[in-house]
Amino acid sequence: MKFKPDEILPAAAAPVLAGAGHDVDTVIAEDPAGAPDEDAAAAANATGRILISLDRGLGNIRSYPPGSHAGIVVLRLTDQSAATVTKAISDLASPASLDSPAGAVTVMQRGLLRIRHP
């Protein structure tokens, strides 16, 4: 799968995804950093990448209806430490752990995975 980790994710996110065989391009690699959510989502969509973020606003299906983008994964973690976020991304990277998030809005939180397909 093709992923685009948001700039608010730990630096270890991209290597974890790439190590699992995914194609990864980060938001932080683009200029300018600090772009609004809409711009990050549009940039990911333009290249057919699934955006991964901690920003809960990206999980709003009214603003980002399933099928209107390449895919969005929101990590809703109470502990947003680098270790916890990297572990969640490692779980996400496992091919057995996730139905295809392409075109869907996926929310991962403690023991729960909610996928809204188009």
HSE-CB for 24 with a 13 A CA cutoff: 20
**pLDDT tens digits, one per residue of 41-75:** 998 999 999 999 999 999 999 999 999 999 999 99
Provide CB contacts within 8 A for 76, sequence distance 6+: 54, 56, 59, 107, 108, 109
Quote the pLDDT of residue 3. 93
Token pair, residue 46, equals 């333009």
Do β-strands 112-116 and 105-109 pair in parallel, antiparallel, or remain unpaired?
A: antiparallel
Mean pLDDT of 27-47: 81
How many Å is the Cα radius of gyration of the chain?
13
What proportion of the chain, given as a percentage, has pLDDT over 90?
61
Domain range list for the chain: 2-116
Alpha-carbon gap, residue 44 to 38, rounded angstroms:
10
